[in-house]
A = this chain, B = another copy of it.
Amino acid sequence: MAEIERSFLLKGDLPHGADRVDRVEQGYIAIDSDGTEVRIRRRAGALTLTVKSPDAGRTRTEEEMELDGGRFERLWPLTTGRRLAKDRHLFALPGGLTAEVNVYVGALAGLRVVEVEFSSEQESDGFQIPDWFGPEITGDQRYRNRELAVHGVPRETSPS
């Protein structure tokens, strides 16, 4: 279940010809001081509530439930001040990999983050970074969605 993922800022313009673009809007209902989070999300029309346990090595729990429209609308006001929206552009990369470019909109406009998921550490280590990728931000907690939703774009490393 552990994700092997690397993240980068986007260097220049967004490439043309995304295979797919989804609008993602999400808001956090509750973020516990122990790190547990509960968020709701609308992605390409699908409505979900997700519970994530704190990062704790191998045992991270993630449970996703579908919501109907009425429930989503009633819960959305609880996420005030803890929201984000982005367009997720998917691009095929060599080797069967996918670059997921998150173009943030609204309060986070200007931030663009590329993520690539790997099936093994080996594949991750050997990844040939495309030249349209910018600085790597893998593991930088400030770029976690929930940090962005609460604190906005990190100051020190504004996107190029």
Q: What is the interface size of chain A, counting residues whose CB is below 8 A from a CB of the partner? A: 19
Q: Does A21 contact B (CB under 8 A)?
A: no
Chain A 3-43, CB-CB to B under 8 Å as 1, else 0, gives 00000000000000000000000000111110011100000
Which of chain B's residues have a CB closer than 8 A to the CB of A30? Answer: 29-32, 36-38, 51
Q: Which of A31, A49, A78 has the most CB of B within 10 A?
A: A78
Which of chain B's residues have a CB closer than 8 A to the CB of A31? Answer: 30, 32
A53 and B30 CA atoms in complex are apart in Å by: 9
Which of chain B's residues have a CB closer than 8 A to the CB of A77? Answer: 53, 61
A99 and B30 CA atoms in complex are apart in Å by: 32
CB distance from A95 to the nearest CB of B (A): 33
Which of chain B's residues have a CB closer than 8 A to the CB of A33? Answer: 33
